[in-house]
A = this chain, B = another copy of it.
């Protein structure tokens, strides 16, 4: 069997098992989550042992400059982080059931009733970075929402991903649900997955811009994700200067590699003089490299790199920041919509009306007022675990939790009803709501 055949087989099994999963009630799905949680606790030493193998390899890579320290840190499990794995599952088990919920119901005509129910999407492919806990988080969300998944983790975490997958499989096998989760371990298998549009309903890629774009361009399967996170903070002419500086520093330095870190700061020309010197000093103290446009450079008066058009289009993912002086709110909004990635953008202003215009016109998943861009996160938003952040304009946008793994189906119940009776005027539609549309 070649890679394509193998992955197609996995995808088909996932699709088939998703129908079985969809039949389980919430108690059964939660029971499985808790059974996996216990099993991971019981087998923690195995997990740590396998993770240590990944660590050894990764440390060598760090020394050779092939892997960043940040990625290495994300990879490492210790006892505390390993304990957390079971907690993810337990937390997800506690959440409300996202499927089999009646969303609304309508009498189309007497004794002909339509019901809309939430239901799982089916089979989902998730491709993610090297944090091993993601295997557990995604499996938790998938089983909770009745979806089967095919997982491909970062190769740096290969041993960790494998042991976690094996342990999860041991539990799923007891429930005859081993087809619900599959592990892909090579790049070729990702390429093969992209051709499985007969069986896979959604692909969620997490990773570099380049990688997500590659996925989007090479499959007919719907893709949920974000290709980049070029987030902005715009400081309005009327803003609390201390707040603005604090928020920008937090947004840049709290976790520079995160997709919700700020990359570009736009300063209104009327406040630039008051904000810029102190902002630049504060950032420079925190080792942030400044990229200033001509106007900012002029105000700052000290040595800094000149920002080019490329800077406005760059996700640094590191301690670098671009700063530009702009003439008006409109120009700021235009810049953000043109250069941004429609992820998260924040305005600092004391004027509610200005913030309202910004909320209305900035075409991003998350638009903030006097808040650091770093708050753009599924856990922070109270969505529970996060399957990813989407900058797409369909299905799910912004931080995506369980809701993004759910769709709906219509059920219509009657007594031998035929449409021609309505066409011929013998019967009429009443369209009476039985249960209100909630959205």
A→B interface (CB under 8 Å): 19, 22-23, 103, 106, 108, 112, 114, 118, 121-122, 201-202, 216-217, 220, 222, 224, 240, 242-244, 246-247, 249-251, 254, 337, 348, 355, 359-361, 363-372, 374-376, 380-382, 392-395, 397-399, 403, 407-420, 422-423, 429, 431, 438-439
Contacts and interface: CB of A to CB of B under 8 A. Distances in A.
A240 to B, nearest CB: 6
Given A254-B418, A393-B201, A438-B438, A364 B108 contact: no
A409 B372 contact: no
A125 to B, nearest CB: 13
A411 B372 contact: no
Given A224-B394, A371-B414, A364 B409 contact: yes
Nearest to A16: B337
Given A368-B413, A375-B414, 20 more contacts: A106-B381, A202-B394, A222-B394, A240-B416, A243-B415, A247-B416, A247-B417, A249-B418, A250-B419, A348-B416, A359-B411, A366-B409, A366-B410, A367-B411, A367-B412, A369-B413, A382-B431, A394-B394, A398-B409, A403-B439
Contacts of A369: 411-414
Contacts of A112: 371, 375
A209 to B, nearest CB: 14
The 6 closest A-B pairs by CB, nearest first: A243-B416, A438-B438, A250-B418, A374-B419, A371-B414, A382-B431
9 contacts: A114-B382, A118-B439, A222-B393, A365-B409, A369-B412, A370-B414, A374-B418, A380-B419, A438-B439
A392 to B, nearest CB: 7
B413 A363 contact: no
Contacts of A381: 106, 108, 114, 410
Contact of A368 (B22, B121, B224, B412): B412
Contacts of A244: 416
A69 to B, nearest CB: 19
A348 B380 CA distance: 48
A375 B419 contact: yes
A431 B382 CA distance: 6
Nearest to A337: B19
Contacts of A361: 19, 22-23
Contacts of A422: 380
A418 B244 CA distance: 10
Contact of A410 (B224, B240, B365, B414): B365
Contacts of A217: 220
A59 B114 CA distance: 40
Nearest to A239: B416
Contact of A366 (B246, B376, B412): B412
